[in-house]
A and B are shown apart, each in its own frame.
Chain A
Amino acid sequence: MRPIFVLLRKDFANFFRNKAAVSLTFIVPFVMIYLFGQIFGVNRKDSGPTGIPLAVVNAGDHPAAAKLVAALKAEKSFRVISEFTNPDGTKRPLAEADLKPAMQAPGAPYRFALVLPADLVGAGSLGLKLRIFSNPRNEIETQTVNGMLQKTIFTNVPQLLGESLQANARRFLGDEKFQAFNGGIAQAVARGFGGDPAAIQRAIESGDFGAAAFGNAAGTGNSNPTADFFARIVKIESVQVVGANVKSPAATGIVGGWAIQFLLFALSASATSLFRERDAGIFQRILAAPVTRSQILWSKFAYGVLLGIFQLMVLFCAGRLLFGIEVEQHVVRLLVVCAFAAAACTSFGMLLAAVSPNAEAASGLATFLIMTMSSLGGAWFPISLMPEFIQQFSKLTLVYWSMEGFSAVLWAGQSFVQLLPILGILGGITTAVMALAIWRFNRSRIFD
């Protein structure tokens, strides 16, 4: 036992000496979690970026456009600039022509601008004719701002989208058929859910598919049956993409997914350090002492599990600060799930080292497999967005089961007993993969 402990401590000493490893394990995933949290709009009300200067030009007089401007002004992430100050101090509404000169000037007052043109809901194209101007400092910033803009638009004025669809339908079908079509739907809705067909038809034509409920899924106080009907349909899609009202699963997914992905990287790196130790002849020195080969392997395993638990818990605590994930109530169960997930990840790294001829091959293989498992397993985006046949492969990845475990604890608040199936699967993966790894190690040249 004691050699395992000594070797374990040695691995931690090496780890904390290695700045690249520390940043890959903690800082990089933290940044990814932060960014993706912003992009998917799961930031807590009292955190996240605030007051990003955003110029808004409203060139038309569309009521929904005014509503969107109001929504952007209410959004804490943005500081909306909609007026232009003349040299003499008087103000006028900002115009599109003002944007480029201002944005290109040194010390630009804003680097992002949104233009809502007069033909906002044009019949020429599907969707909204929004124009976004940006002079970003980097790609990630653009993505972040775009994500926040999208979130605001989707959650506040989905009506605009409905309207755009309607405008296109009208152009495509012709006025008469269009009226008949909407009338038919209104009749059907009224028959099925009750309500006044004429009112429903008016609502549909204005693009209001129950949009009131869209941005506020919890508030089902809306008595309009049409609204409820469409709210239910739309909500199904919106859960994954927007996640404004479903903070925890989205945040849990983001934290868990990125944490697991980078844990896999860290642990593969640690397993491939076996090659470096071999090449340096260190195993000769260790094995000349009263230490066995399996003690070396189990020390690596124990190290991986401990590092994994530590990393996952640190990142979930970061998720607590960033997104308000409720960690405290579930600490013990979360620890258990983290331990199982870390064990599965460690065994993966060990197997990788066991089947690879050298460190380069191992890290190449690791990168490929980890990227595949992470995307398939849902670490990058929710797997419900993937085609169904691909979703079946998700279940073959340990990333998927780890994330299932995290959300079972943090989102569904499952008890120990309820967690057993997932723990069983993670434990099974660990056992099978470790058995394979040890079998391979005994045949490999790593200790020669």
Chain B
Amino acid sequence: MLQLANVTKRYGNLVAVDGISLEIRRGECFGLLGPNGAGKSTTMSLIAGLRVPDAGSISLDGQSLVAGRADLRLALGLVPQHVALYTELSAEQNLRIFGELYGLRGAELRARIDEALAAVQLTDRRRDLVKTYSGGMARRLNLVAALLHRPKVLLCDEPTVGVDPQSRNAIFEYLERLSREGLTIIYSTHYMEEATRLCSRIGIVDHGKLHALGTLDELLARLPFEEEIRFPADAVTAPFAAALRPHGELTTAENAHRFRPAAAYKLSAFFALAESHGLPGRLFTSQRPTLEAVFLHLTGRSLRE
């Protein structure tokens, strides 16, 4: 439905989006996962028509979006990364302004505002100024403001940054509902948990490049191991960790080692080595690797960097 072909965007010498090609299918929730500065927001703004790509093309149902046609804009809704609302005005006033800019008016606009406010549980705060809202409430309003005109594709640029867990959950449930109802969603985030929970397909971006694309299982299958073994990082385990290093990927974070065995390395060999270092089996836990591991594997960097 939405197609990006070789899309490139530069800011001076910096290549913010570097030849990205991907296709988003109707009704899917597509995740764009990458750390800060990866080029997610730039990609979103290119799709939304706020910027013109230096190279490549973007098309919706076969029609180029770059030309900036008004009717194509109506098919898209953008949730900006920052809370883009008039804080000195009420929620209702904000929604009226943005609804009117999309050409809505009268009873229809009023009905959609009511519906939008109800959907994110802001009905009883509708007349309050946005500046009196909590971060989570403002985020929820920021989200529905992009939906008043009923776009076919919703572009959500990190819509949960700085949000309390409760609001985050409310946003997720709302997006899941929209997705079930058939809305196509592009969701950018640097939280792998969010991408894992919400998105049917995920693109991993870093330094403007698309490194991998697929379902969660497809992405995990790219890892040369199926298990990830954790054990404490301390003086006792240090010699063992050093001995383990040649046999796979070893990373250390928050007083814990995480070991991802190379394909040829057998678990029996692992435990034999542990025993020879006098380490009991209860020190080790194993789990399915996460997108974090995929990202690390693909880029050599951690998502949180």
Contact = CB atoms under 8 A, between A and B. Distances in A.
Contacts of B86: 10, 14, 282
Interface in A4-18: 6-7, 9-10, 13-14, 17-18
Contacts of B49: 287-288
B76 interface: yes
B70 A285 contact: no
B81 A289 contact: no
Contact of A280 (B74, B84, B101): B84
A287 B102 contact: no
B151 to A, nearest CB: 10
Given A288-B48, A290-B70, A290-B73, A13 B100 contact: no
B137 to A, nearest CB: 16
Contacts of A280: 82-85, 87
A246 interface: no
Nearest to B155: A288
Contacts of A137: none
B67 to A, nearest CB: 13
B220 interface: no
Contacts of A18: 88
A412 to B, nearest CB: 43
Interface string A1-38: 01100110110011001100000000000000000000
Contacts of B74: 290
B98 interface: yes
B82 A288 contact: no
B97 interface: yes
A188 interface: no
A432 interface: no
Contacts of B85: 280, 282
Nearest to A9: B97
A36 B70 CA distance: 53
Contacts of B70: 290
Contact of B78 (A3, A14, A284): A284
Interface string A281-310: 110111111110000000000000000000
Contacts of B98: 285-286, 289
A281 B81 CA distance: 8
B272 interface: no
Contacts of A9: 97
Contacts of A282: 84-86
A286 B78 contact: no
A3 B103 CA distance: 8
Contact of A290 (B45, B80, B102): B102
A281 B41 CA distance: 12
Nearest to B49: A288
Contacts of A10: 86, 89, 97
A290 B98 CA distance: 11
B50 interface: yes
A6 B76 contact: no
Contacts of B73: 288-290
Given A13-B89, A14-B86, A285 B76 contact: no
Contact of B97 (A6, A281, A284, A290): A6
Contact of B84 (A2, A285, A448): A285
Interface in A232-284: 280-282, 284
A414 B192 CA distance: 73
- Taking each of A7, A17, A289, which has the highest tally of chain B beta carbons within 10 Å of its own beta carbon? A289
B263 to A, nearest CB: 45
B13 to A, nearest CB: 16
A8 to B, nearest CB: 11
Interface string A416-448: 000000000000000000000000000000001
B9 to A, nearest CB: 12
B116 interface: no
A298 to B, nearest CB: 14
Contact of A13 (B48, B87, B93): B93
A291 B98 CA distance: 11
Contacts of B51: 448
B100 A284 contact: no
Interface in B63-113: 70, 73-74, 76-78, 80-89, 93, 97-98, 100-103
A3 B78 CA distance: 18
B294 interface: no
A227 B178 CA distance: 92
B32 to A, nearest CB: 17
Interface string B23-59: 0000000000000000000000100111100000000
B145 interface: yes
Contacts of A13: 89, 93
Contacts of B45: 284
A435 B45 CA distance: 28
Nearest to B73: A290
B88 A291 contact: no
Nearest to A285: B84
A3 B145 CA distance: 16
B84 A284 contact: yes
A286 B101 contact: yes
B84 A281 contact: yes
A281 B89 contact: no
A6 B101 contact: yes
B132 to A, nearest CB: 13
A329 B60 CA distance: 61
A353 B261 CA distance: 59
A448 B145 CA distance: 21
Contact of A289 (B82, B83, B88, B102): B102
Contact of B88 (A3, A14, A288): A14
Which of B83, B84, B98 gathers the greatest number of chain A CB atoms within 10 Å? B84
A280 B87 CA distance: 10
Interface of A: 2-3, 6-7, 9-10, 13-14, 17-18, 280-282, 284-291, 448
28 contacts: A2-B103, A10-B86, A10-B89, A13-B89, A14-B88, A17-B88, A18-B88, A280-B82, A280-B87, A281-B82, A284-B50, A284-B78, A284-B80, A285-B78, A285-B80, A285-B84, A287-B49, A287-B50, A288-B49, A288-B73, A288-B77, A289-B73, A289-B98, A289-B101, A290-B70, A290-B73, A290-B103, A291-B101
Q: Top 4 A-B pairs ranked by shortest CB distance?
A: A290-B70, A281-B84, A281-B82, A288-B78
